[in-house]
Amino acid sequence: MIKNLFLYNSLIGEKVKFEPIASNNVGIYVCGPTVYSEVHLGNCRTFISFDVIVRYLKFLGYNVRYVRNITDAGHLENDADFGEDKISKKAKIEQLEPMEIVQKYTLDFHNVMSLFNTLPPSIEPTATGHIIEQIEMIKSIIKNGYAYEVNGSVYFDVKKYINDGYQYGKLSGRDIDELISGSRDLQGQQEKKNPSDFALWKNASKQHIMKWPSPWGTGFPGWHLECSAMGAKYLGDQIDIHGGGMDLKFPHHECEIAQGVSANNVDPVKYWMHANMLTLNGKRMSKSTGNTLLPEEIFSGENEILKKAFSPLVVRFFMLQAHYRSVLDFSSVALSASEKGFNKLMEAKKVLSNVKFVQKNINTELDSQIVNLIEACYKHMNDDFNTPQTIATLFELVSIVNTCNNANSFGEISKETFIYLQKTMNGFILDVLGLDNLDSQSNDKSAQLVELMLSIRNEAKNNKNYALSDQIRNQLNEIGITIKDGKEGTTYSIT
RNA sequence: GGUCUCGUGGCCGAGUGGCUAGGCAGUGGUCUGCAAAACCAUCUACAUCGGUUCGAAUCCGAUCGAGACCUCCA
């Protein structure tokens, strides 16, 4: 298959043709969560966005190695270089070992990711598991002259890096002079040559819980370093795609570029991709401001924003109806609208899977219309993973499927196109968008039971005992089973 | 304050220099014992003011408004 994928490289701010460094193999690194509390829905959006990106790369036939880290050390509060370690802080609050915190919230994260039907990464490295690699990387940076040691801490020398002709601030569009002469005056900053320098290694005080030995004394690695070290270890000195939330552009990703360049003398990333924020009440979701919703609160309906519970896949679908680079605002009405659309899409997929194909006279106009729409699905995904347009195109196919189903006229499509249509609908809905059918939750016995109820209802209907038939319909409806009387008999769907 | 992004119909959200996505909601039909679903038809748009152009919602400028980053955050 000829691949014609274009993606938006946030480093240069343009859509460019995607060409992997090593032929058909793609390495992708996505910054994972800091596991010091439950992931909120905003975090999830980023991971769902990149899940679709990984899925589509695989769908196109690329060999994908997907690395997403777990930050379990080094991520500091308030200020990147002088705050308290987030994990340690939480450990004190909850009176647990730091690694108990890490374990607890890693499990929570995995559970939520699985509910959202995201694929697990190929490798999920942790910062604490790669202290040696991080120390080695710092050594390289020092050796190359871009870092210096002060009182057991090591800082990156931004000014030297810039003076040597490298661009620091390009990714985030920051002004270099402003960065060098940054005026913030924070406690402990006097250790740095320059306020914009950032920590690669921090000396640990006696009370500090999470610390490791190093050539510069006992301490812990800086947050920006882990992604550089682990990315290089598993995906090479230059990675095809590096992704993360928009908010990580500065300083995190900017620092990663500087670290990669100064350690390995190569631009560490070929394509930078950034997913946009999820907002709530018009403001970005954020743990520190408390403007958040937890996934569990949505699935259970126990929150003040939503009127009812929503399933994880409906939330996923809702997110995919917006482009990953756009801000998306979360609201109850928007989610309800998505839920209905989601059910409509799934229902049509089911119809298409179950239909018995009998060839009739071919309607060439209809046939080519379907082929065009199928090709449009690829076209839109190839255009920087435009899921909303792809979904819109799928809905046009849904309309055709329903029309053919009503008129019993699938046979007017050529057999070849019909199979192509089935494969495309299933492929895009299940494999690319990752929307599994909720009906799979029901088991054989409950299905038999519903069939039994329907046959009793049918008998009542034939006897014009509508009181009974309507009672059965209403009561089934109350437990979430919707009855539809069609020409070909009665069907039902579970919501 | 600096940098950047955005402002689309009742709501959510794509897109684009000319042929007006899609979903939800509304209205009128078809079907049905009635519903539901589906289908058909239909109604609401491109913040404001200028400019470029044969033509702009789409490009440029100004204004107003919103948001993000500049400190930890996906």
Using one digit for the tens of pLDDT, what is the confidence trace for A68-91?
999 998 777 655 566 788 888 888
Average pLDDT over residues A104-124: 97
Average pLDDT over residues A109-117: 96
pLDDT at residue A491 in the model: 83
The spacing between the Cα labelled CA in A345 and the C1' in B26, in angstroms, equals 22
Collapsing DSSP to helix, strand or coil, A185 comes out as coil
Percent residues over pLDDT 70 in chain A: 94
The spacing between the Cα labelled CA in A59 and the C1' in B57, in angstroms, equals 36
The spacing between the Cα labelled CA in A62 and the C1' in B72, in angstroms, equals 36
A39 closest-nt by C1' vs CA:
B74
Amino acid letter for position A71: T
The spacing between the Cα labelled CA in A307 and the C1' in B28, in angstroms, equals 31
Collapsing DSSP to helix, strand or coil, A168 comes out as coil
The spacing between the Cα labelled CA in A456 and the C1' in B12, in angstroms, equals 41
Specify whether the CB–CB gap between A179 and A196 falls below 8 A: yes
Average pLDDT over residues A45-55: 98
A198 closest-nt by C1' vs CA:
B71
Kindly report, residue by residue over A1-15, the tens digit of the pLDDT. Answer: 678 999 999 999 889
Confidence of residue A96 (pLDDT cuts 50, 70, 90): confident
pLDDT at residue A1 in the model: 60
Q: How far apart are CA A384 and CA A400, in angstroms?
A: 27
Residue A112 reports pLDDT greater than 90: yes
Confidence of residue A442 (pLDDT cuts 50, 70, 90): low
pLDDT at residue A83 in the model: 77
The spacing between the Cα labelled CA in A79 and the C1' in B22, in angstroms, equals 44
- CA-nearest of A252, A322, A316, A243 to A53 is A243
Average pLDDT over residues A459-480: 89
Specify whether the CB–CB gap between A30 and A50 falls below 8 A: yes
Kindly report, residue by residue over A213-242, the tens digit of the pLDDT. Answer: 999 999 999 999 999 999 999 999 999 999
Can you spell out the DSSP letters for A239-272?
Answer: EEEEEEEGGGIIIIIHHHHHHHHHHHSS-SEEEE
pLDDT at residue A438 in the model: 53
Q: How far apart are CA A336 and CA A315, in angstroms?
A: 10
Q: How far apart are CA A417 and CA A424, in angstroms?
A: 10
The spacing between the Cα labelled CA in A384 and the C1' in B53, in angstroms, equals 30
Residue A243 reports pLDDT greater than 90: yes
Q: Which of chain B's bases lie under 7 Å from a protein CB?
A: 2-4, 11-15, 21-25, 31-40, 66-74
**Tokens 């990675």 sit at which residue?**
A239
Contacts made by residues A441-450, CB under 8 angstroms, sequence distance 24+ = A441/A494, A442/A494, A450/A476, A450/A481, A450/A492
The spacing between the Cα labelled CA in A483 and the C1' in B37, in angstroms, equals 9
A340 closest-nt by C1' vs CA:
B24
A351 closest-nt by C1' vs CA:
B38
Residue A174 reports pLDDT greater than 90: no
Q: How far apart are CA A414 and CA A360, in angstroms?
A: 8
The spacing between the Cα labelled CA in A138 and the C1' in B12, in angstroms, equals 48
Bridge partner residues of A261 (DSSP): none
Which protein residue has its CA closest to C1' of B36? A484
pLDDT at residue A208 in the model: 83
Q: How far apart are CA A75 and CA A34, in angstroms?
A: 7
Average pLDDT over residues A52-57: 98
The spacing between the Cα labelled CA in A267 and the C1' in B71, in angstroms, equals 27
Residue A108 reports pLDDT greater than 80: yes
Can you spell out the DSSP letters for A109-122?
Answer: HHHHHHHTTPPPPS
DSSP A357: P
Residue A106 reports pLDDT greater than 90: yes
A283 closest-nt by C1' vs CA:
B67
pLDDT at residue A184 in the model: 46
Query: Strands A153-156, A147-150: parallel, antiparallel or unpaired by DSSP?
Result: antiparallel
The spacing between the Cα labelled CA in A393 and the C1' in B15, in angstroms, equals 13
pLDDT at residue A183 in the model: 44
* ipTM score above 0.90: yes
A289 closest-nt by C1' vs CA:
B73
Confidence of residue A181 (pLDDT cuts 50, 70, 90): low
Confidence of residue A119 (pLDDT cuts 50, 70, 90): very high
What mean pLDDT is reported for chain A? 91
Residue A361 reports pLDDT greater than 60: yes
A323 closest-nt by C1' vs CA:
B14
Does the N-terminal peptide bond of residue A312 adopt cis geometry, omega within 30 degrees of 0?
Answer: no
Kindly report, residue by residue over A145-160, the tens digit of the pLDDT. Answer: 999 999 999 999 999 9
Contacts made by residues A295-301, CB under 8 angstroms, sequence distance 24+ = A295/A39, A295/A40, A295/A41, A295/A44, A295/A112, A295/A115, A295/A116, A296/A38, A296/A112, A298/A41, A299/A115
A457 closest-nt by C1' vs CA:
B33
Domains and CATH numbers, chain A: 6-275 (3.40.50.620), 280-438 (1.10.730), 442-494 (no CATH)
Average the pLDDT over each of A417-421, A438-442, A466-470, A475-479 and give the range with the smallest value: A438-442
